Amino acid sequence: MDLKDKTVICSGKIRPVAIAYLQDKVTLKSWQQRGRVPEEQWNAWLQEADALYSAGNIRIDEKLLQKAPKLRVVAQSSVGYDNIDVEACHARSVKIGNTPGVLVNAVADIAYGLLIDTARGIVRGHLHTKNGLWGERKAMGLGVDLYNKTLGVVGFGDIGSAIAKRAQASGMRVIYHNRSRRLNDAALGARYVSWEELLKTSDFIAVAVTLNPSTKGLFNEAAFAAMKDGVRFVNISRGKVVDTDALYEALKSGKVAAAGLDVTEPEPLPGDHPLLTLPNITVTPHMASATEETRDEMALVTAQNIVAALSGQPMLAQVK
Ligand code: DGY
């Protein structure tokens, strides 16, 4: 189908693989410079857009939709789509695509890295060395083993189960809590438990839920209080799932022995944020999917979602 009369606009810099895929098929307006598209230009693009390639975390809501009368497709270049008002899009028959699947392994690797870091203090060890303390008798203290410990995974979709697999390689027992029990959990070597049991019995907790009204602020003061003393906590999902102040207090008191976060609230986390004054936390800048291969695959799926939707075909992944 000839889609050259369809205009696809991009909210930020996109990968060459997506440009190569799109440029011969549609009329592409992409901003390949640093930062956001200048507002005047963006507003003019919105007027013409049939599809929007959402790169970066722009808010897609009624306000934006009103400026884009022809828009029929929003393709989000990530698995998470909490920046999109799904109801507002669907009310205007705007289809939404995203990129699950292709980023599972990259994200699970970062979760596993942070899990090991909460046990062993790898980043802290690096800073210890860098600060010239290795040769001085400044002890770092001991870590703990992953082996024979219980990992509680909250949110047991593809990413949660990929984290479980990695933890099992370190000899961990895996329990999980999810909206519903996974039919194949025995094959995945994981046991479904209640929310309360997970909090009470996990030595480590890894969070892989999507952000929605029922998970927003899920890890609050009460949740941290219900955890085992000295639990270690990893979040690779969305920062808003965790009450940042409650986590700060739990880390400060030692209730949570260590945390590893790839996502925070707010994002970006300012360099002088109180969380970063704590010795028992590692924060990475929402980089879990940031590998060459994964970002290329995400870009390609995003581009393919656009072309499929504009051609009236099913998208590779559609948000319903
Ligand atoms: C996603 O795809 O939602 C991830 O958070 C990106 O790293």
Same domain for 188 and 116, yes or no, is yes
CATH classification at residue 79: 3.40.50.720
In a domain, 315, yes or no: no
| Average pLDDT taken over every residue of the chain | 97
Mean pLDDT confidence for 292-302 = 98
Residue 289 near ligand 1, beta carbon < 6 Å: yes
Helices then strands, each counted (H, E), the chain: 11, 13
Q: What is the mean pLDDT of residues 57-62?
A: 94
Residues 32 and 117 in one domain: no
pLDDT tier for residue 138 given thresholds of 50, 70 and 90: confident
pLDDT over threshold 80, residue 56: no
Percent of the chain with pLDDT over 70: 100
Do 71 and 208 have their domain in common? Answer: no
Examine the domain organization and report whether 304 and 221 are in the same domain: no
Residue 144 lies in a domain: yes
The predicted structure's pLDDT at residue 303: 98
Does 171 reside within a domain? yes
Is residue 233 a part of any domain in this protein? yes
Q: How far apart are the first and last CA of the chain?
A: 25
Residues 229-277 have pLDDT tens digits of 999 999 999 999 999 999 999 999 999 999 999 999 999 999 999 999 9
pLDDT band at 136 (very low <50, low <70, confident <90, very high): confident
Residue 178 CA to ligand 1 center (angstroms) comes to 19
| 259 in the same domain as 171 | yes
Which residues form the catalytic set? 238, 267, 286
Same domain, 189 and 304: no
Give pLDDT tens digits for 26-41. Answer: 999 998 888 889 999 9
Alpha helices (H) in 15-103, listed in sequence order: 16-23, 39-48, 62-66, 86-91
For residue 117, which amino acid is it?
Answer: D
Q: How far is CA 249 from CA 78, 182, 244, 245, in A?
A: 31, 33, 9, 6
Number of structural domains the chain divides into: 2
Question: In this structure, are strands 95-97 and 150-154 parallel, antiparallel, or unpaired?
Answer: unpaired
Report the nearest atom of ligand 1 relative to the CA of 289: 7
- Asked, as a colleague might, if the bond just before 16 is cis with ω within 30 of 0, I would say no
Q: Nearest to residue 235, comparing CAs of 264, 199, 258?
A: 264
Claim to verify: residue 266 and residue 156 sit in the same structural domain: yes
Mean pLDDT of 50-60: 93
Q: Give the rounded percent of residues in the chain with a pLDDT score beyond 90.
A: 95
The mean pLDDT value for 12-23 works out to 96
Residue with the smallest CA separation from ligand 1 atom 3 is: 80
80 Cβ below 6 A of ligand 1: yes
- Residues 244 and 118 grouped into a single domain: yes
Q: Are 233 and 198 in contact (CB under 8 A)?
A: no
- Closest Cα to residue 146, out of 164, 158, 124, 126? 164
User: Is the residue at 155 inside a domain?
Assistant: yes
Summarize the confidence of residues 219-232 as an average pLDDT: 98
Do both 252 and 111 map to the same domain? yes
More confident residue, 154 or 1: 154
Residue 57 clears pLDDT 90, i.e. is over it: no
User: What DSSP designation does 152 have?
Assistant: E
Q: Are residues 52 and 186 in the same domain?
A: no
Burial class (CB in 10 A: 0-12, 13-18, 19+), 319: middle
Of the candidates 242, 251, 284, 293, which has an alpha carbon nearest to the alpha carbon of residue 102? 293
Alpha-carbon separation of residue 124 from 31, 121, 144, 248, 258 (angstroms) = 39, 5, 14, 18, 11
Amino acid identity, position 194: S
Structural domain contains residue 96: yes
Are residues 160 and 246 both part of a single domain?
yes
- Identify whether 319 is part of a domain: no
Q: State the distance from the centre of ligand 1 to the C-alpha of 180, rounded, in angstroms.
A: 23
How high is the pLDDT of residue 165? 98
Residue 320 within any structural domain of the chain: no
- Is the CB–ligand 1 distance for residue 317 below 6 Å? no
Whether cis (ω within 30° of 0) applies to the bond prior to 266 is yes
In this structure, are 89 and 137 located in the same domain? no
Q: Determine the atom of ligand 1 nearest the C-alpha atom of 80.
A: 3
Q: Give pTM, 2 decimals.
A: 0.95
Q: Are strands 256-261 and 231-235 parallel, antiparallel or unpaired?
A: parallel
Domain hosting 29: range is 3-102+292-310
- Please state the rounded mean pLDDT for residues 110-125: 98
Sign of the C-alpha dihedral, residues 106, 309, 51, 21?
positive
